[in-house]
Amino acid sequence: MSPAILLLLALGLGLAGWLAARARAWTFRRESANGRLASLPTYHAWYVALWIVLPVLVFVALWGAIAPGLVSQSVLADPAAADLPVFGFERQTILNEARAVATGAAPAVFNPQAAALVEPYRDALSHYNLIGIAVTVLIAFLGGAYAFLRLRPDFAARTKVERIVMSILLGASLVAILTTIGILASLIFETVRFFGMVSPIDFLFGTHWGPDPMANPDNPDPSRYGAVPLFWGTLFIGAIIAMIVAIPLGLMSAIYLTQYANPRLRKWIKPALEILAGVPTVVYGYFAALTIAPAIRDIALKLGVTNPSTESALAAGLVMGVMIIPFVSSMADDSITAVPQAMRDGSLAMGATTSETIRRVLVPAALPGIVAGIMLAISRAIGETMIVVMAASTAANLSANPLDRMTTVTVQIVKMLTGEGSFDHPATLSAFALGFVLFLVTLGLNFIALSVVKRYREAYD
Amino acid sequence: MTVVHDNLEPTEAKMSATDVSVFYGDKKAIDSVSIDIPTEYVTAFIGPSGCGKSTFLRTLNRMNDTIPTARVEGMIELDGQDIYRSGMDVVQLRARVGMVFQKPNPFPKSIYDNIAYGPKIHGLAEGKDELDAIVEKSLKRAGLWEEVKDRLQDSGTALSGGQQQRLCIARAIAVDPEVILMDEPCSALDPIATAKIEELIAELNGRYAIVIVTHSMQQAARVSQRTAFFHLGKMVEYGRTSDIFTNPHEKRTQDYITGRYG
Ligand SMILES: Nc1ncnc2c1ncn2[C@@H]1O[C@H](COP(=O)(O)OP(=O)(O)O)[C@@H](O)[C@H]1O
Ligand SMILES: [Mg+2]
């Protein structure tokens, strides 16, 4: 609640600074000989307002991070905290309870020890709240004063504001990059911990997957951590079965839409196809589990397969392929459309038919873009979880029979993280190693796709 | 309404257009044009831009078919046969009437495959040796062989603009056409490359019936022996190139060649 107040305060002060600076710029304007300033009054106003709000924002962010620590430190210094249990867990529960009552989030305490701490908590909170507000006002005032004193008729507020805006945008893009780096760092950290318990060789090349979250965590059985069946399941479902469906259908629909469909039809079908990409994968999962998987089983029965399972790699892969069609077709569509009309005319003028032109000129010319679309589609498919859980089971199985149950990397990540094992059990940690492998593969695919697209673009500029 | 000079030597028409009109939707772009295209002479179409030169040229190999709104009326014959008759094989027609475009448009394939493209789709070569021979012959005729014989596998798009245009001419020649249509083939090229193409046209003259659209009157004067002047969708005047430029019968032709408009 207190950061929100600080923010409102900052905005209010910023508005005041904005108005004051604009008024000041107007007086410059009135007093100057020709009635002109180096920058418009609003730029002076924004300059001052930004100098007030931005430093405060930085402070609020920092304060939000350190204030809770300061508060609980001062509570612990209180005599009533002297006989708190030493154990981290219990101690933390009591503190949290006192805190909840003090801030009004909970009506009353259960634990008598917590009751004694409510008052100190309340005191500490209001104490630090006051400090926060005071520092906010001080910073806003210092920033505002600094900026305000720099205002002159010939002050280049416009360029300064431009520069500040640029750094805000830069900051915004850094957030995404830093988050990625942070995620990657934690992934690597946990992966290294896992490989301290199970050797990477066993993990990458072992052919049996069946971590036991109840086993003694200090002495894991490496033969249960072989991830090859998962890699195979992922490849088989996402990169083989799904692509056998998605590549021809996606390509053919792109060719139809770009070369044969009349513009009115195209205006309808193209968005409709792209909507497919927005259907939640759970919905596809239902479809796979309730319709496709039983149908496949019935067909298998009729063909004389004994005892086919209701869950199969084939069901998951087929539905995943349908899900991926828009990724393939939309990239293929874009890159076929990007082939210059002159290419098409050149081929037709040689006496080629439309389909010869497509096969021999347009598709080859658009191939890099098409390949890139396929790569992105694969990386999307191997990251897919829901359909597999619902249609292909969670049982690891190293088999080339599409009618068998199979599982994939992502499914096992979920299973291991939500399993009964404690957080530092190797079974749980294996999820991070799996995630890391998936990350590397997906990154590689995207990287190849992007560089292929880039090279392709250069060809026509 | 077209003024045709009366001092022309009689020639046999390879192609002949009679009362051809072209519409884009409701808009008439070509109004009742009649002309004979001989093999002996290079025919130039000149006229201010937008007057319909490209549109008329494209009726001769039915490239207007690729524009959904375009509609052609009148009769166009190739060796006395109507090319718009039902049952006409457009694919065969375009193999007999080749086309070179304003902007060089080699396929993003190797030099070799660019030339081999037509022979392959029309099944003109049996086996690799024959195909090699066609590629070599076509490149030689287009005057490009010496420049590219050591790098036939390089991409056609990596050549210079002038070389690309000669590659496109070689590509058209490779299917052994009877007529070659060129739509401002030099407008994207520098003067040296232009000179090479003009030389090439002179060499090809007589073997193929050649029609060249150009906005440069000097070029028409250099490469052609017959000139048709187009204006606002009509063919205004047709005659020997030298006569059109020195002794035009029509005022509009006179105005155009003396630079009063266009
Ligand atoms: N695809 C088309 N659709 C509609 N109008 C066109 C099309 N192509 C050309 N035109 C029109 O037809 C007329 C003749 O064009 P064009 O044959 O390209 O002239 P030129 O080649 O002599 O410059 C112009 O008015 C042009 O706007
Ligand atoms: Mg033109």
Q: What is the pLDDT of residue B261?
A: 61
Report whether B90 contacts A345 (CB < 8 A).
no
Report whether A127 contacts A74 (CB < 8 A).
yes
Per the CB < 8 Å rule, is B98 touching A346?
no
Structure tokens at A375: 């790569």
Going from the Cα of B49 to the center of ligand 1, the distance in angstroms, rounded, reads: 9
Q: What is the mean pLDDT of residues A97-124?
A: 79
Q: What is the pLDDT of residue A230?
A: 92
Q: What confidence tens digit (pLDDT) does each residue in A276-330 have?
A: 888 888 999 998 989 999 999 999 999 888 888 888 889 999 999 999 999 999 9
Per the CB < 8 Å rule, is B157 touching A364?
no
> Is B107 near chain A, with CB under 8 Å?
yes
Q: What is the pLDDT of residue B153?
A: 93
> Is B211 near chain A, with CB under 8 Å?
no
CA dist., res. A357 & res. A290, Å (int):
42
Q: What is the pLDDT of residue A152?
A: 85
Q: What confidence tens digit (pLDDT) does each residue in A123-171 have?
A: 888 888 889 889 989 999 999 999 999 888 888 888 989 999 999 999 9
Nearest CA among B223, B183, B220 for reference residue B203: B223
Q: ipTM of the predicted structure?
A: 0.93
Residue of A nearest to B172 (CA): A350
Q: What is the pLDDT of residue A29?
A: 83
Q: Which of B66, B117, B175 lies nearest to residue A345, judging by beta carbons? A: B66
> Is B111 near chain A, with CB under 8 Å?
no
Q: Identify the bridge partners of residue B33 per DSSP, sorted by sequence position.
A: B20
State the closest ligand 1 atom to the C-alpha of B55, by its place in the atom list counted from 1.
17
Q: What is the pLDDT of residue B216?
A: 87
User: Confidence band (pLDDT; 50, 70, 90) for A1?
Assistant: very low
Whether pLDDT at A456 is above 70? no
Residue of B nearest to A353 (CA): B91
CA dist., res. A187 & res. A430, Å (int):
11
Q: What is the pLDDT of residue A71?
A: 84
Residues of chain B by 3-state class (helix, strand, coil), percent to 5: 35, 30, 35
Q: Which of A343, A364, A459 lies nearest to residue B105, judging by beta carbons? A: A343
State the closest ligand 1 atom to the C-alpha of B183, by its place in the atom list counted from 1.
21
Q: What is the pLDDT of residue A178?
A: 93
Report whether B253 contacts B240 (CB < 8 A).
no
**pTM of the entire predicted model:** 0.73
> Is B187 near chain A, with CB under 8 Å?
no
Whether pLDDT at A119 is above 90? no
* DSSP single-letter state for residue B197: H
Nearest CA among A434, A393, A249 for reference residue A323: A249
The domains of chain B are located at 3-257
For A5, A458, B161, the CA distances from B70, given in Å and listed in that order, are 69, 34, 30
Report whether B255 contacts B22 (CB < 8 A).
no
Going residue by residue through chain B (262 aa), what tens digit of pLDDT does each one get? 789 999 988 889 999 999 999 999 999 999 999 999 999 999 999 999 999 999 999 999 999 998 989 999 999 999 999 999 998 999 999 999 999 999 999 999 999 999 999 999 999 989 999 999 999 999 998 999 999 999 999 999 999 999 999 999 999 999 999 999 999 999 988 999 899 899 999 999 999 999 999 988 899 999 999 999 999 999 999 999 999 999 999 999 999 988 866 5
B91 interaction partners in chain A (CB closer than 8 Å)? 351-353
What kind of architecture, by CATH, is found in domain B3-257? 3-Layer(aba) Sandwich (3.40)
Q: What is the pLDDT of residue A72?
A: 81
Q: Identify the bridge partners of residue B203 per DSSP, sorted by sequence position.
A: none
CA distance B121 to chain A (A): 7
CA dist., res. A74 & res. B11, Å (int):
110
Going from the Cα of B184 to the center of ligand 1, the distance in angstroms, rounded, reads: 14
Going from the Cα of A366 to the center of ligand 2, the distance in angstroms, rounded, reads: 28
Q: Is B102 helix (H, G, I), strand (E, B) or coil?
A: coil
* DSSP single-letter state for residue B28: E
Test the A interface: residue of B64, B78, B91 with most A CBs within 10 Å: B91
Q: What is the mean pLDDT of residues A179-197?
A: 92
C-alpha torsion angle, residues B107, B109, B114, B117 (rounded to 10):
-90
CA dist., res. A168 & res. B253, Å (int):
64
State the closest ligand 1 atom to the C-alpha of B48, by its place in the atom list counted from 1.
22
Nearest CA among B195, B223, B197, B245 for reference residue B41: B223
Q: What is the pLDDT of residue B37?
A: 96
Going from the Cα of A384 to the center of ligand 2, the distance in angstroms, rounded, reads: 52
The residue whose CB lies within 8 Å of the most ligand 1 atoms, and thus the one to mutate among B20, B22, B23, B24, is B24
**What integer best gives the mean pLDDT of chain B?**
93
